Amino acid sequence: MELCQVAVYGCGTVGLGVCRILLSPGPLHERTGDSIRLKYVVDGRTEELAAELPKDRGVILTDDLEAPLRDPEVGVVVELFGGTTTARTVIEKALAAGKDVVTANKALLAEHGDELFRFARAHGRSIAFEASVAGGIPVIGSIRRGLISDPIESIYGIVNGTCNYVLTEMDERGLSYEDAVAEAQRRGYAEADPRLDVEGVDSAHKLAVLVRLAFGVRVRLEDIPCEGISGVDRRDIEYARGLGYTLKLLAVAVRRDERLELSVYPALLHRDHPVAVTGGVYNAICIHAGHAGELVMTGMGAGRLPTASAVVSDIAAIALGKYPMHFSRLSQFGDVPAADLVPQAEFVKRFYLCMECVDSPGALGKVATILGEEGISIASVHQQEVGEGLEAAPVVFMTHKACEGAVDRALDRISRLSIVPGGRPRMLRVEDV
Amino acid sequence: MELCQVAVYGCGTVGLGVCRILLSPGPLHERTGDSIRLKYVVDGRTEELAAELPKDRGVILTDDLEAPLRDPEVGVVVELFGGTTTARTVIEKALAAGKDVVTANKALLAEHGDELFRFARAHGRSIAFEASVAGGIPVIGSIRRGLISDPIESIYGIVNGTCNYVLTEMDERGLSYEDAVAEAQRRGYAEADPRLDVEGVDSAHKLAVLVRLAFGVRVRLEDIPCEGISGVDRRDIEYARGLGYTLKLLAVAVRRDERLELSVYPALLHRDHPVAVTGGVYNAICIHAGHAGELVMTGMGAGRLPTASAVVSDIAAIALGKYPMHFSRLSQFGDVPAADLVPQAEFVKRFYLCMECVDSPGALGKVATILGEEGISIASVHQQEVGEGLEAAPVVFMTHKACEGAVDRALDRISRLSIVPGGRPRMLRVEDV
C-alpha cells in the first residue's frame, strides 16, 4: 500500500497525542499495514519537543511552516494550531500545495468553513474534521456516513465538557458557579480564561459545524442565539432537581418544517433522559433521524488521547483513500444555501420561571393572570421554602408549550409587579425535542 | 458522478425499507447527487411486491436470482434473504460476478465470515455489513473508522432488542417471562419461534462480528459461552432492583492481557449505567477504547427503517467508492488469527447468588463457610421476605470478585445442603467491566 506521510502543525496537548499514536506500534499500524508515517512536526518549541518525542523515528522537528508544504512526500497536513489566523493560512497553503488537511479547529470551520471547503474542492483536496466536535465520539462520521440517507429531525446535546463539569459539580456537590469553575481550572478542564467555554461560544462553533453536515445549510455564528452558564443560579439547579430535571448546557438544532431552530443555552432535561445522565466532562449527542430513529452517543468530548484518536481516524481515512472521495462528492461540502432560521421570539418550548413572590393573598393570581393574558398556560406551580429572614418566597412556574416572545413580554410585565420584589423572574427552557 | 445501480435480494421488512429509501426523493439523493439507483428487486413474491413499490421508477421485479448478476450495470448486490444457504450462494455468485455486496446477515457472517471475506478479497470485491449489528446504531463504522487507532479494551452491550423488551416488561410491569414474550410477539418484536433471540444465539452472532472488527481475531460461535433469558426468574429481577441493579442480556468481549473473554448472558448492571437505562427494544453498546475512552451508543437495534438506514449507508459508501478500498486494506478483513479465549471457569466477576435457605441458626453460616472454602468473598447478604406458606426464605449473596469455576463448585456443594431445600442456587453475573 502507498505510504501516507503526515505533517503535524502544532504540538500542544492534542498534537502530542497524535504524534505518540503515529509513532507507537499499535492497532493503527497493524490494521492499516504500516501505511501511515509521521514525517514533520511543526512547532516553535522544537527543543522542548525533541525531549518529548522518540529520537530514532526520523521525524523532522521544525518551526518552518513552509518546509512540509514543499515536500512532495507529505500527503496530509494536520492543523492543530487553533485560532483563525495562522491556522487558516496553513490550511490554505497546504491545500494549494496539493495536501489533504485534517483539523480540529471548530472556530475556524464555524467562521470560515464555506470559503475553506470551496477552496479545498477547487484544488481537488479535502478537509477532514472529526475531532472538531465531541473529541472521542465519532459523531461527524456517523452523520456523514451512517445517516447518509436519513432526514435529520433534530440534533442536540452537550458538546462542551468544561461546562458539563461545572454544572455537574454545582448539581452533585452543591458548589457555587465560581467554585465549580475554579475546580475545573485546578483540574485542567478549564482554561485560565474560560469565557469561550462558559459563554457558550465553543458550543455554538460546534453546532455550526454539525448543522452544515446534518442539514446541508450554512449558518453564521452571530445568528445562533447563545447563552452560557455564567448566569446560572445554583438555586435553580436545586429547584429543578426537585421537579425531576437536570440542567445542562445544550447546543440545539431542530427542524421546524422548512426552517431550523438553533440555539445554545442552559436547559432543563428530564433526569431520565440519556443526555441528562451524562455528567462530568463527558459529552452526549442525541440525534433524531428520520429512518434510524433516536440515536444517542456519549463519550469523552475532549482531552489529549480522545481528540487525538479522532484526528488519527481522519488521517487514516485519507491514507486509505476514501475521505477525499467523500469530500469531493457529498453535497454538504459543496456550496450550500444559508439556513432559514426560526427567530428566537418564535421558539415554542416549555419554560421554567422562577420569581421571588410576596406571600400575600392574590399574589400568585396576579402573576397567573399576566401569563394567561400572554397566552402562556401553566402546567404546575411550586412554592419553594422561604429563605430565612425573607418576606418573598421563591415560586417556580412550569409552563406548557409557549412562545418565547410571549414569555419575554410576560416576564417584563411581571418584573414590574410590586409583589415580585426581586426583579425580573429567572427563565430556563425545558428541552423535550 | 458515476451511477451506482443496485439489486436488492429479499424484499421483506428490511428490504422493503431499503427499496423505499432508494426510490424516494430525499436526503440520500440530495447528498450524493442522485448517484444511486435501484434496478432490481429479487423476490419470489413479485406480484405482491408490484403493488407495494412505485410503478414508474423502472425497477425490475424478478424471481430470477441470476438476472442481476448477468447485468454489467449492477454494481451492488444487497443480500437480505437471511439464512445461511441461499444467502451464501447469492453472495458468492455476486462477488464472482464482480459486484460488491451489502448484507445484514449476522448469522452468515458469524458462521462463514472468514471464507466469505477471503472470497471477496480474492475477487477484488467487498462485503459491507453495518446493518448486521444494532440496526440504526452505526457501531460497525465507528469501530472500523472512528476507532481505527484505538486498542479496544472491551465492548459489550445490549444487541438484541427482543430480549431487552422482554426484560424491560418483566422489570417495569412485573410480567412473567411467558407473558412478556407473548406481549413481544403481539407487538411484532418477537418471532413466532423466538428461540434465536431469547436463547442468546442472535446476540452471539453479533458478538462474533464485533469481535473480528474490534480485536482482529476470528471466533467460532460454539466457543462463545451463551446463555439466554428463558431461564430468568422474575424474582431475581425484583431482588436485583432492590440492590440497585437492572438485569440485561449482554454480549460481552473483554481483553484480558493477550486473551479475550467472550460471553452472552443475562447480567446485572448498576442502574445508573448508561446501558442499564436503555429499555424497551433499544440497543446499547459500550466500548472502552484505549485512546477515545468510554463510548456509549444507544439507538434502535432493529425495525424496518433503522436497519434499512444502515443498509443504505453501506450502499452509499460503495457508491462513493470508499468502502471497497477500506475492505481491501484493513487487516480485520484479511486472514486473522483465531482468538485465544479465557475459559469460562476462569472468568473473574462479581456474582449474585440467590437460594432458598431454611431459617435456622447457623444456616447462613454453613453457606458462608462453603463460599469461603472456595475462595469466594462475600460483599453483602440480603434475606428477602419469606413467601407465604414457605419455610425457607430467599437469601441473596453478593460476592466480591471471584472465579466462575469456584462459584460453580460452591453452588454444587451448597445445593446438597439440607438447609437449602430449593435445589441449586440461582446465579447471575454482575458486569462492571
Say how far apart CA B6 and CA B100 lie, in whole Å. Answer: 10
CATH topology of domain A344-430: Alpha-Beta Plaits (3.30.70)
Q: Minimal Cα–Cα distance from B152 to chain A, Å?
A: 9
Report residue A264 as a C-alpha cell: 445554545
Say how far apart CA B51 and CA B302 lie, in whole Å. Answer: 25
- Share of residues in chain B with pLDDT > 90 (%): 85
Mean pLDDT of A73-92: 97
Whether the pLDDT of residue B1 is over 90: the answer is no
Report residue A31 as a C-alpha cell: 490494521
Query: pLDDT-derived band of residue B361, with 50, 70 and 90 as boundaries?
Result: confident
One of A106, A206, A248, A349 is an active-site residue; which one?
A206
Which one of A21, A22, A32, A148 makes the best mutation probe of the B interface by having the most chain B beta carbons within 10 Å? A148
DSSP B209-240: HHHHHHHS-B--GGGS-B--STT--HHHHHHH
CATH class given for the domain over B345-430: alpha beta
- Say if strands B4-9 and B74-79 run parallel, antiparallel, or are unpaired: parallel
- Say if strands A402-403 and A426-430 run parallel, antiparallel, or are unpaired: unpaired
Which amino acid appears at position B238 of this protein?
E
Would you state the pLDDT for residue A154?
Answer: 97
> pTM for the full model?
0.93
| Cβ-proximal residues to B69 (8 Å cutoff; 6+ apart), any chain | B77, B93, B94, B97, B99
Would you state the pLDDT for residue A392?
Answer: 84
Give B 110-139 residues with CB within 8 A of chain A: 130, 135-138
Q: Do B295 and A298 touch (CB under 8 A)?
A: yes
Q: Which residues of A165-185 are buried (b: 16+ CB within 10 A; e: fewer)?
A: bbbbbbbeeebebeebbbbbe
CATH no. for B4-135+306-333: 3.40.50.720
Mean pLDDT of A181-187: 94
Report residue A187 as a C-alpha cell: 483540574
Q: Which residues of B144-178 are buried (b: 16+ CB within 10 A; e: fewer)?
A: bbbbbbbbbbbbbbbbbbbbbbbbbbbbeeebebe
CATH topology of domain B139-302: Dihydrodipicolinate Reductase; domain 2 (3.30.360)
- For residue A31, list chain B residues with Cβ-Cβ distance below 8 A: 148, 216, 330-332
Residue A390 Cα distances to A387, A393, B343, angstroms: 6, 7, 67
Say how far apart CA A316 and CA A42 lie, in whole Å. Answer: 20
Whether the pLDDT of residue A327 is over 90: the answer is no
Nearest chain A Cα to B216, which residue?
Answer: A31
Q: Do A141 and B145 touch (CB under 8 A)?
A: yes
What confidence tens digit (pLDDT) does each residue in A374-425 have?
999 999 999 887 777 777 889 999 999 999 999 999 999 999 999 998 889 9
pLDDT mean across residues, chain B: 94
Which range among A43-52, A238-247, B281-290 shows the weakest confidence by mean pLDDT?
A43-52
Would you state the pLDDT for residue A1?
Answer: 58
Domain locations in chain B as residue ranges: 4-135+306-333, 139-302, 345-430
Check if B161 contacts A (Cβ < 8 Å): no
Question: Dihedral, CA atoms, A221, A227, A228, A229, nearest 10 degrees?
Answer: -170
| Cβ-proximal residues to B72 (8 Å cutoff; 6+ apart), any chain | none
SS3 call for B336: coil
Would you state the pLDDT for residue B130?
Answer: 97
Q: Do A30 and B141 touch (CB under 8 A)?
A: no
Check if B393 contacts A (Cβ < 8 Å): no
Say how far apart CA A14 and CA A17 lie, in whole Å. Answer: 5
Nearest chain A Cα to B29, which residue?
Answer: A149
Query: pLDDT-derived band of residue B406, with 50, 70 and 90 as boundaries?
Result: very high
CB A239 within 8 A of CB A382: yes
| Cβ-proximal residues to A339 (8 Å cutoff; 6+ apart), any chain | A211, A215, A217, A218, A219, A223, A260, A262
What confidence tens digit (pLDDT) does each residue in B263-281 have?
999 999 998 888 999 999 9
User: Which residues of B carry out catalysis?
Assistant: 206
Which range among B86-100, B183-197, B216-230, B393-407 shows the weakest confidence by mean pLDDT?
B183-197
- Share of residues in chain B with pLDDT > 70 (%): 99
CATH topology of domain A139-301: Dihydrodipicolinate Reductase; domain 2 (3.30.360)
| Cβ-proximal residues to B260 (8 Å cutoff; 6+ apart), any chain | B211, B215, B217, B219, B253, B254, B339, B340, B341, B342
Whether the pLDDT of residue A433 is over 70: the answer is no
Report residue B165 as a C-alpha cell: 423488551
Helix axes A404-415, A363-373, angle to 10 degrees: 150
Give A 301-360 residues with CB within 8 A of chain B: 303, 305-306, 308-310, 312-313, 316-317, 320-323, 325-326, 329-332
Would you state the pLDDT for residue A363?
Answer: 87
CB A417 within 8 A of CB A368: no
Say how far apart CA B322 and CA B138 lie, in whole Å. Answer: 16
Nearest chain B Cα to A217, which residue?
Answer: B31
Say how far apart CA A180 and CA A176 lie, in whole Å. Answer: 6
- Cα–Cα nearest to A167, from A203, A207, A192: A203
Say how far apart CA A389 and CA A107 lie, in whole Å. Answer: 48
3-class secondary structure per residue, chain A: CCCEEEEEECCCHHHHHHHHHHHCCCHHHHHHCCCEEEEEEECCCHHHHHHHCCHHHCCEEECCCCHHHHCCCEEEEEECCCCCCHHHHHHHHHHHCCCEEEECCHHHHHHHHHHHHHHHHHCCCCEECHHHCCCCCCHHHHHHHHCCCCCEEEEEEECCHHHHHHHHHHHHHCCCHHHHHHHHHHCCCCCCCCHHHHCCHHHHHHHHHHHHHHHCCECCHHHCCECCCCCCCHHHHHHHHHCCEEEEEEEEEEEECCEEEEEEEEEEEECCCCCCCCCCCEEEEEEEECCCEEEEEEEECCCHHHHHHHHHHHHHHHHCCCHHHHHHHCHHHCCCCECCECCHHHCEEEEEEEEEEECCCCHHHHHHHHHHHCCCCEEEEEECCCCCCCCEEEEEEEECCEEHHHHHHHHHHHHCCCCCCCCCCEEEEECCC
Q: Do A306 and B293 touch (CB under 8 A)?
A: yes
Residue corresponding to grid cell 507529505: A74
Report residue B239 as a C-alpha cell: 431482588
CB A61 within 8 A of CB A80: no
| A&B contacts, CB < 8 Å | 220
Residue B217 Cα distances to A27, A255, A326, B261, angstroms: 13, 43, 29, 13
Q: How far does CA A149 lie from the centroid of its chain?
A: 24
Mean pLDDT of A182-186: 95
What confidence tens digit (pLDDT) does each residue in B143-153 have?
999 999 999 99
Would you state the pLDDT for residue A399?
Answer: 97
Which secondary-structure segment (H or E) carries B389?
Answer: none
Nearest chain A Cα to B302, which residue?
Answer: A292
Question: CA angle at residue B28 from B25 to B31, to 5 degrees?
Answer: 110
- Cα–Cα nearest to B370, from B333, B334, B397: B397
Q: How far does CA A427 lie from the centroid of its chain?
A: 22
Among the partner-chain residues B27, B150, B272, the one whose CB lies closest to the CB of A150 is B27
Check if A280 contacts B (Cβ < 8 Å): no
Say how far apart CA A328 and CA A117 lie, in whole Å. Answer: 10
Would you state the pLDDT for residue A191?
Answer: 85
Say how far apart CA A111 and CA A93 lie, in whole Å. Answer: 18
| End-to-end Cα, chain A, rounded Å | 47
A39 annotated active-site: no
Name the E strands within B271-347: 282-289, 293-300
Q: Residue A377: how many CA atoms within 13 Å on its side-chain side?
A: 5
Query: Phi-psi category of A71—alpha, beta or left, where left has phi over 0 and alpha has psi -120 to 50?
Result: beta
Residue corresponding to grid cell 423505499: B20
